[in-house]
Structure 1
Amino acid sequence: MSSESASTTAIIYTHTDEAPLLATYSLLPIIQAYAAQAGVPVETRDISLAGRIIAAFADRLPEEQRTPDALAELGALAKTPQANIIKLPNVSASIPQLKAAVAELQALGYALPAYPDEVSSDEDRDTRARYDKIKGSAVNPVLREGNSDRRAPESVKRYARNHPHSMGAWSPDSRTQVATMTDGDFRHSEKSVVIAADDTLRIEHVDEDGTVTVLKESVPVLAGEVVDSTRMDVAKLRAFLTEQIARAKADDVLFSVHLKATMMKVSDPIIFGHVVRAFFPALFEEYGEVLADAGISPNNGLAGLLAAAVTLPRGADVEQAVIAGLAAGPRLAMVDSDRGITNLHVPSDVIVDASMPAMIRTSGHMWGPDGQEGDTLAVIPDSSYAGIYQAVIDDCREHGAYDPATMGSVSNVGLMAQAAEEYGSHDKTFEITAPGSVRVVNGAGETLLEHDVDAGDIWRACQTKDVPIRDWVRLAVSRARATGDPTVFWLDETRAHDANLIAKVNAYLPEHDTAGLDIRIMSPVEATKLSVERIRQGLNTISVTGNVLRDYNTDLFPILELGTSAKMLSVVPLINGGGMFETGAGGSAPKHVQQLVKENYLRWDSLGEFLALAESFKHYSEATGNARAKVLADTLDRATGTFLNENRSPARKVGSIDNRGSHFYLALYWAQELARQSDDAELAAAFEPLAKTLAENEQAITAELIGVQGSPVDIGGYYRPDPEKTTAVMRPSQTFNDAIASLAAG
């Protein structure tokens, strides 16, 4: 076995949530057994929502219930050259999800405080501050100390072409449209400045009589950093929403709203609450004060409102008012029409980056309350990126659905390092309580940015450091050089933030060899039009985007090309030399968990994990000199190709192989590749008996895996499943388990 340097660390496989966590119980024992043969340690760290809640309140819990702050540990590791992190999707919790997780933990015996909707004491203030650090996109900004290189591997693209997924037909008569604001939103209100020297900024509210209230005392900034501020005019938002609700009613199309109440964990839940208010004007005119006095907020959605209203003296009247509002308004798009769950039930149920591509893939339709598909008015209040979806809808209406068998790809280089852009806004977003102005002041007392505001407006600032921008440009040029594909920076010169980024891109591009490369700067709408035109010709394009557009593009195009964004390879070359390897999106994870509990069938596709793991092994080999890690990577790549060619991804229905069966086949093909490789005879000999055992017992193992399906199972919890129960559910084949154990036994 090759020697390893003293700086060697383990590969860290993250323990997260929902379907990816369940899949980990099945896949991780295989990974650890195979990696051990090559001297590669694979450890886990718990960054699940439940784990983060427990860590946040460790000082209030008994010793035996405490857990270390794994997220903080990994955040520090990500800043070092030794980092090698496999990051699975995690819950970016909305307040309803956060409350549900707390309730589950309380039921398990954790003496956690409830989330305080109203703050009336220092203890409430402390409790809420701890929870607010956990909700929304709390994990990604900490770990993403590098920019994103996300693309479809050739083997995955080839599989999609040979096995094209279904695409709904588009009609030229489709009435599906995107509705967005033309004034008073974040896009049109934005101001931006580039910081000249290291400084500490302060954010202040100045009311109409001149009283100054400090909203944030200290915002450290570095020279070259881009700082933006913007405002959502709530009066204009309300008028816009009222108009769109009336429009959907008049046009007899489904009404839907598409926000990102997870990533934008402060601003978008507030906007969601305004949508609920606008849809049920009579309800809030009659009962608004009663609901507010009871601490019931529309920001948490219709489901939370109805559940809490049961406790009110006139709860039945509130429920009737909701029913009347549903009847009076346009038909609402549904999350689950069978269970009556509407687009407005839970703010985290309809996340724009997943919901809009799914709608486009399904003929521009969403599901209506009658259980039928229908044309939809897709309301995206802020216009910053709404136009990209309208451009794709217009293209489909004119040219029909895309063909996965022939279409090209749009990969992405995403600016996200060091809490770039909107990730850097969470602690600088405020719902304004009084008219006046909000200003950003530097250390010398000079006002850099300022907005007039009214009560109820949403004001936010965000930061983008210069080092990540330079690295983003470097990575874009690197990908352009590696592929030869046209590479487009999606930046709009008429938007304040983008104008400053364009100046930096133009300054930093000459630092690299761009000779012969096709590198352009285009507005997001024009870049979308170019990309979909090339897609239809079977040609590839690289999109180079900021953080939110990265999230949108790495769902939009993969869902159209591959059927899911979970099959994308996502490499994050960390700025200080380490590596993070992300495993795809988790948007459908809740439904997969529900299916497992109901019928012991997990449809989650772990292909993203396979792809990330191979890249992680390659990085480990390069960082440590462990040649066997490279053998693991190369053989896993080949095994994944066989896995795809043999169509071993989970099927959709009980009676077929599910996630657990797909893991068996990956283990089989990987063992066979390891046994026949010629780079390391000793390693080949170690895997030859396992490859033989798995092949000889294929029928018995698949029978054991499929035989348990069809009945409900108990995993002991949604947010914190019981490890023993979940292991039993996710590893039901004793024959397979014994074979993997025999590898470790030697």
Structure 2
Amino acid sequence: MANPSRIIYTLTDEAPLLATYSFLPVIEAYAAKAGVGVETRDISVAARILAQFPDRLGEKAVDDALAELGDLAKTPEANIIKLPNISASVPQLKAAIKELQEQGFDLPAYPDDPKTDEERETRARYDKVKGSAVNPVLREGNSDRRAPASVKGYAKAHPHRMGAWSPDSKTNVATMGEHDFRSNEKSVVIESDDTLRIEHVGADGETAVLKPEVKVLAGEVVDATFMDVAALRRFLTEQVARAKAEDVLFSVHLKATMMKVSDPIIFGHAVQAFFPTLFDQYGEQLAAAGISPNDGLGALLSAVADLPDGEAIKAAVQQGLAEGPAMAMVDSDKGITNLHVPSDVIIDASMPAMIRTSGHMWGPEGEEADTLAVIPDSSYAGVYQTVIDDCREHGAFDPATMGSVPNVGLMAQAAEEYGSHDKTFEVPAAGTVRVVASDGTVLIEHEVQPGDIWRACQTKDAPIRDWVKLAVTRARATGAPAVFWLDETRAHDAELIAKVNEYLPEHDTDGLTIEIMPPAEACAYSLERIRKGEDTISVTGNVLRDYNTDLFPILELGTSAKMLSVVPLMNGGGLFETGAGGSAPKHVQQLVRENYLRWDSLGEFFALAASLEHLAQADDNARAQVLADTLDRATGTFLNEDKSPTRKVGGIDNRGSHFYLALYWAEELAQQTDDAELAADFASLAQSLRSQEETIVGELNGVQGEAADIGGYFRPDPEKAERVMRPSATLNEALASL
């Protein structure tokens, strides 16, 4: 080995974090035999909060692991396995702060309406933790997401359940189509390195600087747009009436976690549109008490108990629910609606789940029903309508025969909308918001009204060039057509199309099919092919990357957690992501209630194999390649033997699945012929695990059924969590023997 090898394994949140307590000892034990060190870095929402306040925490201060990994991601040595993390909404952030305060950390309260300099500074620190705080820092490369062959083969042999579709289904998408982010977008390409500023010029001529410095590079694409809030409110009111008239469920689908400034505001307008009488009567009183509709109906109902008119407000909510259309539910048994928590219904997870379930969501009575899916901005809403129309015409997809839609996603260096948070503003007064170059040239401007949501985003040239290269590389490797989902009638996409056409000739595309199509048309093309069992690479921007890598895997595989997600970092390192964490909160609740963790770590298995393979090539580490190859084979056995967690207490859960992966991996290592010494090392472990299988499974399953204490939701106690997640002394001793 030319260089010592190192994997950085991230500690994140909820179910993925708990699973790490069980799986990490396996990784450490096996990797050590290849001279690979495994280090951890805590980038959980709790750790990110604590890292913002070293001045207050004294001896309890923690390192800013996210900043450290951000620097590492820019180096050739980077090898980071990144598990799903919480993209905190305001309610989640407040809950995490409360838990940390109860654990003895001296943290200030989250200031909803900061008035002093100290409160504004505190709010600014907390804002760094909200929403998509992790991904833009680590993603110094573009995304390559696909279903591994073993997973796709398993899905075809064991197809998951798909709900039947009726040609009479009344399910549809409602979107604005005008006066929204897509229709108001303007875009420019920066000619030379510069520092821009964003300013608001009021109707009275007064200029307020919204953001004094926006650094840009030559060739960078800069966009700006706004959502007309008056048009938004009219649209939302119309959709409430439409859902009532069509007798379908009303649901709103946003991304209030990643789009942490704009989408909570839009969510708040949806809450107000559904309960107009409530806010007409009590809006001023709620605002005076600091209760914001942006935090959702759940937070509102919890907070009004202390108000003089609390009972009357609750009655007004019930009246609104009775008079309006039936609302889609997150949990009908508990009365949790689509509008309760902004982070409960996340578009990229909720829309595919609805499409997979006959176009249905759950209604107030616990019954499935057709749904009006309200997606205010029209940028990508047409993609979902296209899938709905296709299912209405052709019926549900068949996982046993359908093709695949892997993705190459433009996301490096906070590309596109997910990089807009620090440049998104709720407009304070009528006037003009403009983007101005350092020489005073106005690059983009919009006339706006109070309450409009204005945003700008950046897409650097180097990531675009790298994205085109990755698309051609994947098309060449697979032979599948690669389709850029870009619309020439949208301002930003028109600039990207010009760059794609400029950079494609840099690559050998002979014999390849490479197309450019608007998103809805590209979706229809891909759907036609997957119904014939054919694969099509979707080459998309950052948001569509997120949407497509949930949409198609959920239809193909039943989940997006089984995707291989590789980020070839632009400076030569590797970032290996392990799938989506949308179901993670429910899994934690089940663990605490009955000591059973349903989280499926298959994504971690795939990421680890890819990470080891990268190390083998980067560090000339032959043993790392042996580990990678044998892990791939072991994962195939794991799938064929159906050792993923079962759904209920009594079967194996996450901990049992880790045992079987360890067993199959040890057996593969013992049987491989590339490294006799390594085979000998693992032969005794394989024999030990196999001979004690019944004992180990008994110890792992024996703890199920009782409540489990992990010492915290956002920041579990490490000793308690390890005891819960490693209950088999026999397995622990076997691993230690390595």
The question of a shared fold, defined as TM-score above 0.5 by the shorter chain, is answered with yes
Does residue 511 of structure 2 align to residue 516 of structure 1? yes
2:610 to 606, 609, 615: 615
Deviates more, 1:417-426 or 1:80-89: 417-426
> For the Cα contact (< 8 Å) 1:440–1:448, is it kept in 2?
yes
Instruction: Select 1:634's aligned residue among 629, 635, 648.
Output: 629
The CA deviation string for residues 550-609 of structure 1, in whole angstroms up to 9 with x for no partner, is 000000000000000000000000000000000000000001111111111111100000
Secondary structure of the structure 1 residue equivalent to 2:183: helix
Contact 1:9 1:83 in 2 (8 A): no
Q: 2: CA distance between counterparts of 1:480 and 1:690? A: 41
Q: Does 1:695 align with 2:690?
A: yes
Q: Which residues of structure 1 form unaligned runs of 5+? A: none
**Within the alignment, does 1:358 sit opposite 2:353 as a pair?**
yes
Alignment of 1:126-525 (within 5 A): 126-525=121-520
Alignment of 1:15-54 (within 5 A): 15-54=11-50
The residue type equivalent to 1:672 in the other structure is E
TM-score between both structures, scaled by the size of structure 1: 0.99
Give the stretch that moved more between structures: 696-705 or 96-105: 696-705
| Partner-residue secondary structure (3-state), 2:297 | helix
Distance in 1 between the 2:177 and 2:684 partners? 66
Matched, 1:537 2:532: yes
| Equivalent residue number for residue 575 of structure 2 | 580
Report the alpha carbon displacement of residue 318 of structure 1 after superposing the two structures with TM: 1.0
Matched residues in 1 for 2:342 and 2:353: separation?
17
CA contact (8 A) 2:5 2:36 kept: no
The one-letter amino acid of 1:101's match is: A
Q: Is the 8 A contact 2:564 2:579 kept in 1?
A: yes
Q: Which residue of 2 aligns with 1:58?
A: 54
* Counterpart contact for 1:437–1:450, Cα < 8 Å: yes
Do the aligned partners of 2:595 and 2:704 also contact (CA within 8 Å) in 1? yes
Paired letter, 2:56: R
CA contact (8 A) 2:5 2:35 kept: no
Q: Separation in 2 of the partners of 1:742 and 1:196?
A: 61
| Displacement of 1:716 | 0.7
Q: 1:710, CA displacement in angstroms? A: 1.1
Between the aligned partners of 2:407 and 2:24, the Cα distance in structure 1 is: 28
1:86 aligned counterpart, secondary structure: strand
Deviations 1:365-390 (A, max 9, x none): 00000000000000000000000000
Distance 1:114 1:340 in 2: 29
Instruction: Report the secondary structure of 1:567's partner residue.
Output: coil
Which residue of 68, 71, 74 corresponds with 1:73? 68
Partner Cα distance (1:56, 1:688) in 2: 48
Shift of 1:442: 0.3
For the residues of structure 2 that align with 1:457 and 1:391, how far apart are their CA atoms?
Answer: 29
- AA aligned opposite 1:242: T
Query: Is the 8 Å Cα contact of residues 10 and 82 (structure 2) preserved in structure 1?
Result: yes
Percentage of matched positions with identical amino acids: 76
* 1:699-741 Cα deviation digits (max 9, x unpaired): 1111111111111111111100111111111111111111111
Structure 2, unmatched stretches of 5+, are: none
Q: Distance in 2 between matches of 1:24 and 1:182?
A: 44
Q: Distance in 2 between matches of 1:182 and 1:632?
A: 51
Number of the residue aligned with 1:12: 8
Q: Are 1:550 and 2:548 counterparts?
A: no
Cα offset for 1:429? Answer: 0.2
How far the C-alpha of 1:9 sits from its partner, in A, is 5.2
Alpha-carbon distance in 2 for matches of 1:622, 1:409: 28
Query: What amino acid maps onto 2:29 in structure 1?
Result: A
Q: CA deviation at 1:295?
A: 0.7
The residue type paired with residue 724 of structure 2 is V
Q: Could you tell me how far apart the structure 1 residues matched to 2:292 and 2:53 are?
A: 25
Matched residues in 2 for 1:433 and 1:30: separation?
A: 54
TM-score by length of 2: 1.00
Please tell me whether the aligned partners of residues 579 and 616 of structure 1 are also in contact (alpha carbons under 8 angstroms).
yes
Q: Secondary structure at the match of 2:630?
A: helix
Partner secondary structure for residue 709 of structure 2: coil
Matched, 1:713 2:684: no
1:652 aligns with 2:647: yes
SS of the residue corresponding to residue 146 of structure 1 reads coil
Distance 2:160 2:217 in 1: 47
Counterpart secondary structure, 1:310: helix
Aligned length in residues: 738
> Partner of 1:187: helix, strand, or coil?
coil
Do structure 1's residue 596 and structure 2's residue 591 form an aligned pair?
yes
Residue 182 of structure 2: SS of its match in structure 1? helix
The one-letter code matched in structure 1 to 2:26 is I
| Whole-angstrom CA distance in 2 between matches of 1:440 and 1:195 | 12
Match of 1:115 in 2: 110
Q: Could you say which residue in structure 2 is the equivalent of 1:559?
A: 554
What amino acid does structure 1 have at the position aligned with 2:238? Answer: E
Shift of 1:132: 0.3
Contact kept, 8 Å, 1:480 with 1:486, in 2: the verdict is yes
Q: Distance in 2 between matches of 1:705 and 1:341?
A: 34
SS of 1:289's partner is helix
1:327 alignment partner, SS class: helix
What is the rounded CA distance, in whole Å, between the counterparts of 1:644 and 1:386 in structure 2?
A: 35
C-alpha displacement of 1:4: 2.7
Q: Is the CA contact 1:58–1:67 (under 8 Å) kept in the aligned structure 2?
A: yes
CA distance in 1, matches of 2:688, 2:152: 32
1:33 is matched by which residue type in structure 2?
A
Structure-2 separation of matches of 1:406 and 1:704:
40
Query: 2:224 corresponds to which letter in structure 1?
Result: S
Distance, in Å, in 2 between the alignment partners of 1:163 and 1:111 is 51
> How far off its partner does 1:10 sit?
1.7
Please give the per-residue CA displacement for 1:126-152, whole angstroms capped at 9, x wherever unaligned.
100000010000000000000000000
Helix, strand or coil at the partner of 2:457 = strand
Distance 1:611 1:551 in 2: 19
Output the amino acid matched with 1:587. G
Q: What secondary structure is seen at the aligned counterpart in 2 of 1:570?
A: strand
Give how far 1:209 is off. Answer: 1.3
Look up the equivalent residue of 2:336 and give its one-letter code: I
**2:619: which partner in 1?**
624
Where 2:386 maps in the other structure, the secondary structure is: helix
**8 Å contact from structure 1 (residues 485, 540) kept in 2:** yes
Distance 1:720 1:213 in 2: 40
